[in-house]
Amino acid sequence: MVTVEIDRPPLRTRSPEGRGSPLPLVAVALLVGLGAGFFLGRYTAHREARAAAPVAAAPAPAATPVATPGATASAAPTATATATATPTAAPAANPSANSTATSAPAPAAAPVPAAIAPSSGPRRVVVTVHGPLEESIANALPASDRPRASELTAVVNRLLVWDLHVARDGRKGDKLEVLWEPAAPAATGLPASGEPVVLALRYASGKLGGVLAAYRFEPKGARWARYYRADGREVELRLADAPVADYEQVTSLLKDGRRHKGVDFKTPVGSPVVAPFEGVIERRNWNFAGNGNCLDVRDLATGRHAIFLHLDVLPKEMAVGRKVRKGEVIASSGNSGHSFAPHLHYQLEDASGKVLDPFEVLKTERRAVPGGDRAAFDAERARLDAALGG
C-alpha cells in the first residue's frame, strides 16, 4: 500500500557547527519589514481615495434595451421560415453592498446569440423537399433553429418510416408541415433528452398520392404520450409477442436505413424483458464491451434466436442451458455496454444466423385510442390541425 502524505513536512532549522542559531535576527528583520509595509499601504490607499473622489460623482449613463429573438418562428409556404424578434428591457444593474447612489452602473447585458436564444411555445415549419430531408428542413428553419435540424429530421423520420422511407421514396416537391417545440422535460424513468418534440406533422407524398399525418396524444392513465393517425390508430405497429410490454417508442427499425440489426425499444432501466417464445438460453454476456449484459435465447420449435442487448444486471438463474417459457421474465432492460440511453435492443435471427425483421415475420397489431379518450383525441387533433394551418 502506498501512503500519500497530505501535510507538508515540518520546517527544520540547522545551525552551522560552532555557531549560534540566526533565528532571533531573522525575527527582528521580519517585524521591521511588516511595520514598514503597513504604514506604506495606508499612505498609498489614502492617496488613491483622494484621486478617485471626482470620478465617483460622475452621472450614471442610461440603460439600453436589448433585443432578444422571439419564441415563435413562422414558416412561409416556400420552405423558408422567418423568425420574429421580441425586444425586452435589459436587466437592471445589481449594485454591490458597498455601492452608493453615485456609483457607476454595471454595463448593459450583451445580446443573446440567435443560435441559443431562449424561446418557448410551438413552432411551425413548412418544408418543400428539394433533396435530402435534413437539408430541406434546415433551409426552411430560421437561423436560430438550424442547429436543431439534424435532431428534428431524426424525429420526423422516426414517425414516417412506418409508411415511407423519405431517403428512398421521397419526391421532389413533396410537402412537409411540422409543429414542434424544443426538448421537453424527461419522461418518467428516462433521462433528459435534447431531441425536439414533434406535436404533429403532415407529409404530402407524391409516391403515395396522399397525406401521412401523426398527432401526439396522451390518453388518461397512460405513462407516455404516443403518436396517432387521423383515424385514431397508432402510427407504430406493435409486436403481439413483444419482448417488453411497457415502452415509450420504437426508436430504430431494420428498415430505417441505419443498417441496424435489431429493434430498439425506448424504455426505462428495469423494465421487465420476457421470452417471446419457449426456448433455451444459448449464450450469456458475450462481447461485453459492446453488448453489455446480454442473452441469446434459442427457439426450441424453429431454431430461431432472440438476442437481447444492453440489459441490466442479469439474474444468476438465467444460465446457459436453462429452459424458459414463453412470456417468462428473463431479465430487465438497462443501459449497459455501448449504449447512449436506456433501451432494449431486440434482434431476431433464423437458425443459420440470418437477421430477420420482427415486424415482418412475427404477428403485429396496431392499437387505437381507448374509447373513453376518443372525444379528447378528436379535439386535440382539430387543435393541432388548426395550428398546422388548416
* pLDDT tens-digit series, residues 271-315: 999 999 999 999 999 999 999 999 999 999 999 999 999 999 999
pLDDT score recorded for residue 259: 82
Q: How far apart are CA 39 and CA 48, in angstroms?
A: 15
Look at residue 223 and tell me whether its pLDDT is greater than 80: yes
| Rg over CA atoms, the chain | 33
Tell me the H-state helices in 110-190: 133-140, 149-160, 166-169
- The CATH T-level fold of domain 249-365 is Glucose Permease (Domain IIA) (2.70.70)
Q: What is the mean pLDDT of residues 190-204?
A: 86
Helix (H, G, I), strand (E, B) or coil at 380: helix
In angstroms, the first-to-last Cα distance of the chain is 74
Contact in structure between 308 and 344 (CB atoms under 8 Å): yes
Residue 53 is placed in which grid cell? 473622489
CA distance 374 to 222: 14
3-state DSSP assignment of residue 349: strand
Per the CB < 8 A criterion, the answer to whether 186 and 281 are in contact is no
Between these two residues, 75 and 238, which has the higher pLDDT value? 238
At the topology level, CATH places domain 123-236+367-388 in: Nuclear Transport Factor 2; Chain: A, (3.10.450)
For residue 121, pLDDT over 90 is answered with: no
Q: Is it the case that residue 115 has pLDDT exceeding 80?
A: no
* pLDDT score for 186: 64
Q: What is the pLDDT of residues 51-102, one digit of tens each?
A: 444 433 344 333 333 333 333 333 333 333 333 333 333 333 333 333 333 3
> Which residue has cell 415549419?
125
Cα separation, 241 vs 297, whole angstroms: 15
Cα 216 to Cα 155: distance, rounded to the nearest angstrom: 12
Domain boundaries, the chain: 123-236+367-388, 249-365
Confidence bin at 17 (pLDDT 50/70/90): very low
Q: pTM for the whole thing?
A: 0.68
